[in-house]
Structure 1
Amino acid sequence: MKRFDVIISGGAMAGATLALALDASCGGKLRIAVVESYDFSAQAHPGFDARSIALSDGTVQILQAYRLWDAIQPYATPISRIHVSDRGHAGMTEIEAKQQGVSALGYVVELADVGQVYHRLLQERPAIELFCPASIQTVERTTDEVQILLDDQSSLRGKLLVAADGNASTCCRQIGIDANVHDFEQVAVIANVALSQEHQGQAFERFTQSGPLALLPMTRQRMSMVWCVRPDALENMLDWDDETFLSQLQQAFGWRLGKMSRIGTRVAYPLKLTYRTRAVSHRFAIIGNAAQTLHPIAGQGFNLGIRDIATLVEEIRHYPDDVGCYAALSAFQHRRTPDRQKTMTMTSALVHIFSNAWFPAVVGRNLGLMAIDNFPVLKQPLLTQTLGHVSR
């Protein structure tokens, strides 16, 4: 029987960030267990696969506070400009880093690179113990602690259990906190694209007839592509060879980045909003994709999750002798609810507005984009969310 202060289920982006942030914030005084079911050394770890994510300026500031950014920055590509447009229509708007007084609007990192960094850091921190590969079989809670049984029949005890194990969270299911699911009826096709010219740190969100198409700048003259399409269109796309796919992508996106010269392996993910109305229970907290999994439009997913982490760390610090007490978890829930609801509502609304071919909706959204581009007061909410300067 091993005892810890905090047990974290899930060692991918959210779980590993939480463990390292807690360790840094509490000076290594908390005993932390990270239980991860996939082998970190495996090439196919689903939490650190070939995808890329955009980290907002606000997220970078949080990572800096926990002394994590210096290790990640060498693998990050800065975003200097974001261009938002509706294909075939006049509506568009742009956000530039220089105009906002920041060196970058955000950064793009490849999950595989961050996974290697995090695995090394987790092993270097003496207060963190990694159980990997291991999975949680049962969860039992008493008044003062939580006890989990692993698949090798070993037991861990702690003051707090945190679910950071994705939208199909095993811990949430065992405790009985169900998820609400809204199917966007879209599939995200993800791949890396090589360009024939420099991207100059530009990021693009282009709304096409089939769904949003995002291109994010990466290292080595590449872009990370997320192309959202209807499920019936996916069947044809999977049959395309590289040349056909590039031709269709070029037609949908245009030539703002010049000729797209090569496409990498394509992977498809169904897109659903999955969220739990409660983020806490007795000696139990939920963060990241386990709490809410968003549509990738506007790149808000991990940035919302990092705010979960930062808030939970702040509340835990007030109660070092009992990190899972009611006061800490109640304050965490109270602080996170407005941001979670606002961000989920915003991203879902954008999906429905920009995936609607109804003519009045097309006219309305293009007028909206033009108004945002010309009136700073209308642009401010977009800037706040994009930069991640959101109140917690």
Structure 2
Amino acid sequence: MKHYDVIISGGAMAGATLALALDKQAQGALSIAIVEAYQTDHEQHPGFDARAIALSHGTVDILKRFDLWKDVSSVATAIEQIHVSDRGHAGMTEIAHSDIPVPALGYVVELADVGRLYHQRIQSSQNIELLCPDSIAQLNRFSDRVELKLTSQKEISGQLLVAADGAFSPICDAVKLQQNQVDFEQVAVIANVVCQQAHQGRAFERFTESGPVALLPMSENRMSLVWCLPPAEADKVLQMDDKAFLSRLQEAFGWRLGAISATGERSSYPLILRYRPQIISHRLAVVGNAAQALHPIAGQGFNLGIRDVASLVDEIGLQLADPGDYSVLSRYQARRTDDRETTIGLTSGLVRLFSNDWWPTRLGRNVGLFCADALPPLKQPLLNRTLGLVER
């Protein structure tokens, strides 16, 4: 039975970032295994697919600390301005990187690009072993270790097991970690689109009576679309031909970037908040979407997960001799509580506020957007969380 200091279940963004960050932090003192069911350098990997995500300024700082940003920056597009508006109403606010000032408010990356870069780094590491394609079939925990049997029949052990295996985490289910759910009764329609005008590093979040429409700047002047709709309306939009789809999107988003002229392949997923109040168990820590999967409004989900990763790395770094010791895990749980609760509360509150077309709510949010634009101190708390400048 081969032994590792840390075994990570899941090798997508959270798991791969954790492995590389731990390797950097420990300077070769830890042996790390990643158990991953899909080939991580393959385009069909569900965690490294065609979607794009926004990395906050704070996330970039974390990646720099672990010597990961240099690679990721080569495939990143800077967000220089964020424009927030309410369709058909006067309320709007803008945030520019020059107002802060920071080099950029954040960056947009395609998951497939990051997956390819991460795979290369993992393959070149002497301390990380990628067990792929493989998955955990059996888990047994003892006072000083975990023992795992994989579907390949390999048997391995470790001092710490980390669940980075997504919102439907089999590991968390196996140890019966409670998961709470809130169904927002929305579906996110995802696509890459091209607009008539150059995006010039601008990101847009536009609130409509059906839900928010977000456009993020990408390379080659493309934009990543996240369009939140009621399920029945999302089904209709997904079944439209490209011409009808672009026309419907144009109606929802408006003409701030001119005509929306082309779209790539569309996909969708239901918007359900899933979170686990407890993110530790004996010899087990939980990070990323396995800990919490958020509504995409305000782009907080992945950045919150990276703060999980950084906090766990910090705590393990204080006790490399036994990364699965209860003292490490209890500090990690305590350290993550405030950030997780605040971010989950913020995103859920924004969904309720901006998906409600009741006229008093609509009036209140437009006044709020107007005041935030006229009185910058009012938008500072939201700005700090958008930038990822929060305690963790």
TM-score (norm 2): 0.99
**How far has the Cα of 1:373 moved from its partner?**
1.0
Q: Which residue of 1 aligns with 2:26?
A: 26
Whole-Å Cα distance in 1 between the matches of residues 18 and 100 of structure 2?
29
Cα displacement string for residues 69-108 of structure 1 (whole angstroms, at most 9, x for unaligned residues): 0001010000000000100011111100001111100000
Q: Which residue of 2 aligns with 1:263?
A: 263
Q: Which residue of 2 aligns with 1:346?
A: 346
Q: Which blocks of at least 5 consecutive residues in structure 1 are unaligned?
A: none
Cα displacement string for residues 206-249 of structure 1 (whole angstroms, at most 9, x for unaligned residues): 00111010000000010000000000112211221101111111
Whole-Å Cα distance in 2 between the matches of residues 74 and 244 of structure 1?
35
Cα displacement string for residues 291-334 of structure 1 (whole angstroms, at most 9, x for unaligned residues): 00000000001100010000000000111110110111000000
**How far has the Cα of 1:195 moved from its partner?**
1.9
Q: Which blocks of at least 5 consecutive residues in structure 2 are unaligned?
A: none
Partner amino acid, structure 2, of 1:237? V
Whole-Å Cα distance in 2 between the matches of residues 53 and 39 of structure 1?
20
Whole-Å Cα distance in 2 between the matches of residues 196 and 88 of structure 1?
22
Within 5 A, what are the aligned runs for 1:252-291?
A: 252-291=252-291
Partner amino acid, structure 2, of 1:44? Q
Within 5 A, what are the aligned runs for 1:1-392?
A: 1-392=1-392
Partner amino acid, structure 2, of 1:311? S
Partner amino acid, structure 2, of 1:48? F
**How far has the Cα of 1:153 moved from its partner?**
1.2
Tell me how many residue pairs correspond in the alignment: 392
Secondary structure of the residue that 2:233 maps to in structure 1? helix
Secondary structure of the residue that 2:316 maps to in structure 1? helix
Whole-Å Cα distance in 1 between the matches of residues 157 and 5 of structure 2?
8
Whole-Å Cα distance in 1 between the matches of residues 291 and 308 of structure 2?
9
Secondary structure of the residue that 1:378 maps to in structure 2? helix
Secondary structure of the residue that 2:258 maps to in structure 1? coil
**How far has the Cα of 1:178 moved from its partner?**
2.6
Partner amino acid, structure 1, of 2:14? A
Whole-Å Cα distance in 1 between the matches of residues 102 and 287 of structure 2?
28
**How far has the Cα of 1:374 moved from its partner?**
1.2
Q: CA RMSD in A?
A: 0.7
Whole-Å Cα distance in 1 between the matches of residues 333 and 386 of structure 2?
24
TM-score (norm 1): 0.99
* Percent identity of paired positions between Structure 1 and Structure 2: 59
